[in-house]
Structure 1
Amino acid sequence: MRTVTIYDTTLRDGEQMPGISFPKSYKIQIAKQLDKLGVDVIEAGFPAATQGEFEAVREIANLGLNARVSGLARLVNEDIDRTIQADVDMVHIFISTSKIQIEHTVKKSREEIVEMAVEGVEYIKSHGVECMFSAMDATRTEVEYLKTIYKAVEDAGVDIVNVPDTVGIATPFSMYGLISELKKVLEVPVDVHCHNDLGLAVANTYAAVKAGADQVQVTINGIGERAGNASLADVVILIKAVEGLETNIKTEYLVETARLIERLTGIKLPPNTPIVGDNAFSHESGIHAHGVLSEATTFEPGIVTPEMVGHRRKIVVGKHAGRHQIKKLLEDAGYAVSDDVLTKIVDKVKELGDKGKKITDLDVITLAEVLMGEVKKEERVIQLDEATVITGNRITPTAVINADVNGERKITSAIGVGPVDAALRAVAELVGKQIRITEFRMDAITGGSDALAEVYVTVEDEEGRSFTSRGAGADIVMASVDAVINAVNYLMKMRSR
């Protein structure tokens, strides 16, 4: 079985995304997660760029990871030396080869560029280190010249050549043709690096693999220069699930890794992001939900499951919801409703949806209780007595929650990046680590400094059960606490049934 190796450049090209700058502690944390994920090569950075970058790359190189560690260097000995001094396994060198970049940036003859590339490879190999060579802007370079320079570095002892679509100009058809041509003349492995300027980075990477590429360069969540790079999750699933080839990626950690990068960059993925997005395995449409509840593959690809990538399947309530999913939600929460009551609930949910309202699980439960005339407040697992939050300049936001949990008095405390985060963590501590908050959203209902805020939260347990609730008020911290406690109460009830 053919295996395609994964070269992750989140820490180098990913960090070149405007607005992102990883401190060393973040780089080390990400490198460890990439190693856990099963990445074959981690491009840890550009050691010659800054002293901090050098130290981060060197520390990652000495972590004892299973993944090999690579560093980027310009084709000058000072850069190469600095990269080798960072203890990397591989030095990745590059030089422009397209007509436009040669004329405006390199300003050397084509023969001189080939000579420089060969000398760079030979210099690196003389130090006993692996070498990757990139012909920058390869997809705008004449194919015959690409063959010439790649053959020259192959003869010089390069370990792998990279074909970068530097400005994201390629299409799947042109990429397939280019890699096919290069594979005819090269014996060393061929790698590809695709940018997403035209939204084709994943498709181009996949086309390159179809044409015989041995390695792909990717980033977590597709972060990177301009419109970003090919997303690791998308590429790996295409390679494995669609093409039937092997990688060393442990796909069950894909969502976990994506969320880590979201948290460390502050860049939230759109919910409709393939594979790792919040909605990747969520269903609202009544027709879809009914089918999925009976057999998941009726309205999911089948070749990739939520469990395969570390995700959870969600049946979401909205104006497109049908009777089956609403009935299932109520049954899971312990409510047996008649057909007449169910019809009224479904009609009300659709009415609210038509008005642009976001319908939560708690809204459906409340409708059921009102229509059935049985409000079960006495079944609340958590009764909040007091919540105190301390925050301010040079004070770590800290929350203390005093509550009754199943008849037992509990006081919990937690710190967070802000008062809301601290409060939510303290609430989660009330019922243990098995409950986690997977989604948090806040909207202002009114304007002004005393604006009312509406908070939506989703909590999930270790078995994948989730519940969505809302809270509202002028105090956003207390609105958040109320929303989480409401959600946790019903989730705990569902767990006990």
Structure 2
Amino acid sequence: MRSNSTRMPVRIIDTTLRDGEQAPGVAFRTREKIAILRLLDSAGVDEMEVGIPAMGLAACDEIRDLVALNPDCLLTSWCRALEADIELAAGCGTGGVHISFPVSPILLGAMNKGKDWVLSQLDALVPRALGRFPMVSVGAQDAFRAPTGFLREFVRRASRCGAHRIRLADTVGLARPSQVADTVRDLTGMAGQTALEFHGHNDLGMATANTVTAIEAGIPAVSVTVNGIGERAGNAPLEQVVMAARTLEDRTIGVSSKKLVRICRFVSRITHRPIAVDRPITGEAVFSHESGIHCAAILKDPNTYQPFSPEILGRKPAQLVIGRHSGSTVLKHVMEMAGVTLDDEKTAQLLSVMRIHSLKNRSVISNDELVHLYRHHLPGPSKMGAIQNKKPHP
């Protein structure tokens, strides 16, 4: 594996407080925004998009409150391609601004704009923003439904205007990984010294895959949200992108993996959006194992059936749970921890009792319950026969 000094850094731009809050029913109080900012800043997120000044005085006041915290990460405001929006953002004091331009025919039609308008606004607004902000980003909204020729011209023009970064937004989540890779490689040369960024939505369940593909293709910046919250099916989840990008040998990420679970659980609680037990990275059950084959292997080497150690996330070691699919190895292991050594015959008997009990209750069995089953059912052969002959309820 390459050393960190030779690996390309990937800039993580969190937009939980902007795009994430656009999820239906999600509305953060100011104190919650402050808490999220502090958590993400302490975790090492490089940049945060913290609001839309054009939403009004209350939004501007909130942005100023966040700026006053003086975090280590760069804070940016999101603007439409309008001079008035940029002026409002300048009054909020963020170190950066993002200016979003529609580039697909369907969005241009809906906004009653044309390609010439987009290019003329680029020429007018980027220099103006550069006079007010240390960092100026421009966005190609709905980039993956835009004509290739126009998208190339947009990137070339934005670079010539002096934009620091160009966001390629998969606004409705229709892009495929192969398309993302081809687009990033095609546009990288045209961007010159201007960095590219990928912003993915999850409508087809590919936001993480598309984002990691963009990183593999050489893009140096990606935008994400905590738990993937956002419009419709949401955005690329911070926690998934960070952990997936860590598997790439030639990339490096500055976000602390040990702080991800706490951040995700906090945002889950305040948005009233529970984390599914099998949710990648943060779900309660993603480091739990029941299969007999898996448990037997993990007792020998935890890496056999896990992509990485749960301790990397600050979580407890892998949990071996007992259920219908458990095998003899894990039963012997649990009983030995309880001070009981089972021979093969007793193990087979206990395995049969346990599987009947698990199927009947449609649940896993705790270690204490397993010991109770052993003590209650195994001493007498007549009881054992009664248990084996009893059929579970359908």
TM over 0.5: yes
The correspondence of residues 38-437 of structure 1 with structure 2, limited to 5 A, is 38-105=44-111, 107-187=112-192, 188-301=194-307, 304-312=308-316, 313-332=318-337, 334-339=338-343, 340-361=345-366, 362-371=368-377
Q: CA deviation at 1:371?
A: 4.5
Q: CA deviation at 1:243?
A: 4.1
Structure 1 window deviating more from structure 2 (176-185 vs 249-258): it is 249-258
* d(CA) in 2 for partners of 1:326, 1:19: 46
Q: CA deviation at 1:294?
A: 0.8
Q: Secondary structure at the match of 1:163?
A: strand
| 1:196-254 CA distance string (max 9 Å, x none) | 11111111111211221110111111111101111112212222223441011111112
Distance 1:244 1:363, change over 3 A: farther
Contact residue 332 and residue 342 of structure 2 kept, 8 A? no
Q: What is the aligned length?
A: 369
The correspondence of residues 456-471 of structure 1 with structure 2, limited to 5 A, is none
Q: Structure 1 unaligned segments of length 5 or more: list them.
A: 374-497
Q: Secondary structure at the match of 2:50?
A: strand
| 1:398-443 CA distance string (max 9 Å, x none) | xxxxxxxxxxxxxxxxxxxxxxxxxxxxxxxxxxxxxxxxxxxxxx
| 1:297-347 CA distance string (max 9 Å, x none) | 22122xx22111222211111111122223333444x33243354433322
Q: Which amino acid aligns with 2:155?
A: Y
Percentage of pairs with the same residue: 30
Contact residue 53 and residue 78 of structure 2 kept, 8 A? yes
* d(CA) in 2 for partners of 1:194, 1:35: 22
Q: Which amino acid aligns with 1:221?
A: N
Q: Secondary structure at the match of 1:42?
A: strand
Q: Secondary structure at the match of 2:45?
A: coil
Q: Which amino acid aligns with 1:129?
A: P
| 1:446-477 CA distance string (max 9 Å, x none) | xxxxxxxxxxxxxxxxxxxxxxxxxxxxxxxx
Write 1 or 2 for the structure with the bigger share of helix.
2
* d(CA) in 2 for partners of 1:239, 1:368: 46
* d(CA) in 1 for partners of 2:101, 2:69: 30
Q: CA deviation at 1:123?
A: 1.3
Contact residue 289 and residue 319 of structure 2 kept, 8 A? yes
Contact residue 90 and residue 133 of structure 2 kept, 8 A? no
* d(CA) in 2 for partners of 1:351, 1:330: 18
Q: Structure 2 unaligned segments of length 5 or more: list them.
A: 1-6, 380-394
Q: CA deviation at 1:54?
A: 2.0
Q: CA deviation at 1:3?
A: 0.6
* d(CA) in 2 for partners of 1:162, 1:335: 60
Segments ≥4 residues shifted beyond 4 Å: none
* d(CA) in 1 for partners of 2:334, 2:38: 39
* d(CA) in 1 for partners of 2:335, 2:26: 44
* d(CA) in 2 for partners of 1:233, 1:371: 45
Instruction: Say which structure, 1 or 2, has more relative contact order (CA 8 Å, 6+ apart).
Output: 2
Contact residue 97 and residue 133 of structure 2 kept, 8 A? no
| 1:133-153 CA distance string (max 9 Å, x none) | 001111111122112122222
Q: TM-score, normalised by structure 2?
A: 0.89
Q: Secondary structure at the match of 2:113?
A: coil
Question: Which of 13, 23, 37 is matched with 1:7 structurally?
Answer: 13
Q: Secondary structure at the match of 2:13?
A: strand
Q: Which amino acid aligns with 1:217?
A: S
* d(CA) in 1 for partners of 2:267, 2:29: 13
* d(CA) in 2 for partners of 1:262, 1:331: 39
User: Aligned Cα RMSD in Å?
Assistant: 1.7
